[in-house]
Amino acid sequence: MLWNKVDQRWKDRLPKDRDGDVSWKTEQWPVPGEDPLEVRVCTRDKVKVSSFANCNEAPRTSIVLHLTCGYGNFTGLMGGSDHSASAHFLLGRCGTPYLLVPTEYTAWHATWWNNNSIGIEVDNIGGLHPVGDDMCSEYSSKDKKDVYCKKSETDCFLEKTFGGTKYWATLTEAQYAGLGKLVKALCFKHKIPRIIPPDDLRYKAFDKANPKVRQNYRGICTHVNIDPARRADIGPYIDWPKLIAYGGITEADCYNPPDSVAQTWNDPKGGAAAAASGGASGAGAGASGGAGAGASGGAGAGASGGAAGAGASAGASGAEEKLPPPVIIDSHTLKVRVGKRGGRICLSVK
Ligand SMILES: [Zn+2]
């Protein structure tokens, strides 16, 4: 099956230092509280980075997550496509990060959001549709099937309707781990708070007409926020609790980051920092705006993902629980998020 071939191709690249006209050297990037991240720094033979990126250095304030919706083509993200697109990182199916554009420069991955952002392309074929016994990619036509997997191979795709598509190829476990660590390294490097909007706001379109949106946003977002009319990467079809756990990411207001999460870029435990003040699992709770679902989702992710003990400790120490701090979701809404245990309430003020 094709998914198998693609995954194998990424693994086959690991002992090499070149693929086509792209070669790489390794660098070690610091990650707070962990071993450094090995990054493969790529260059294209005879093609200057200035032909597919703006090389004026500028501060980076957000990270945009994408899916390649393709087959992990280096040159296509280093100016090789007909529209000269580029991205800072391509994350292999093996979880290895390949740096295509220096993060100080502006890559061309998200139109009006390019300035001040870092684009990560997670290699994944994207949406699938059933044809007979097969699941086919968007590159299928009537004449030629592009088979990704069998319908029976339910461990490499899932059903989740989003953006008009019903089935999606899954990320590999190595990608979740690799993406989590890459987010940690990038946030540390550029002092970006390791935060993401709660689930109920995560896929909301950004207000393009309001210049303050791009100026004020801090943290992680996805391409679907920036170009919802044309893009569905990345929607609710990935395992967000898992990524949040691996990346030590806190769910918070990214326009006005609360003090409790503003420094998470520097914190080995990320969201756990807010836990110490009573807020971390609260960040999870904020996802649903209610008490139960988000809280248990956050705790479960923390435990199964093995990322720090944020969720686990918050959940286990019932007697010592404190109310989480208020989180301002936008300028009009105040939510006090409270877990599902007795004595805790959920308040939303508009
Ligand atoms: Zn995208």
pLDDT of 189 above 50: yes
Amino acid 269: pLDDT: 80
Amino acid 345: pLDDT: 55
The rounded Å distance from CA 318 to ligand 1 centre is 41
Amino acid 301: pLDDT: 35
The rounded Å distance from CA 107 to ligand 1 centre is 12
The rounded Å distance from CA 316 to ligand 1 centre is 39
250 backbone φψ class: left, alpha, beta (φ>0; ψ -120 to 50): beta
The rounded Å distance from CA 65 to ligand 1 centre is 7
pLDDT of 283 above 80: no
Q: Is the Cα torsion angle 312, 314, 319, 320 positive or negative in sign? A: positive
Tell me the one-letter amino acid at 164.
G
pLDDT digits (tens, 9 = 90+) for 79-138: 998 778 999 999 999 999 999 999 999 999 999 999 999 999 999 999 999 999 999 999
Amino acid 81: pLDDT: 83
The rounded Å distance from CA 227 to ligand 1 centre is 9
The rounded Å distance from CA 66 to ligand 1 centre is 4
282: Cβ–Cβ under 8 A, 6 or more apart, which residues?
A: 274, 295, 324, 325, 327, 337, 338, 339
What is the model's pTM?
Answer: 0.79
The model's confidence at residue 260, banded by pLDDT at 50, 70 and 90, is: confident
The rounded Å distance from CA 226 to ligand 1 centre is 9
- Domains for the chain: give ranges and CATH numbers: 3-124+171-251 (3.40.80.10), 127-169 (no CATH), 272-349 (no CATH)
pLDDT digits (tens, 9 = 90+) for 290-337: 333 333 333 333 333 333 333 333 333 444 444 444 454 554 445 555
Task: Kindly state the percentage of the chain with pLDDT values over 90.
Answer: 70
Amino acid 83: pLDDT: 79
The model's confidence at residue 9, banded by pLDDT at 50, 70 and 90, is: very high
Amino acid 84: pLDDT: 82
The rounded Å distance from CA 231 to ligand 1 centre is 6
pLDDT of 219 above 70: yes
CB 195 within 8 A of CB 261: yes
The rounded Å distance from CA 290 to ligand 1 centre is 30
The rounded Å distance from CA 110 to ligand 1 centre is 7
CB 344 within 8 A of CB 291: yes
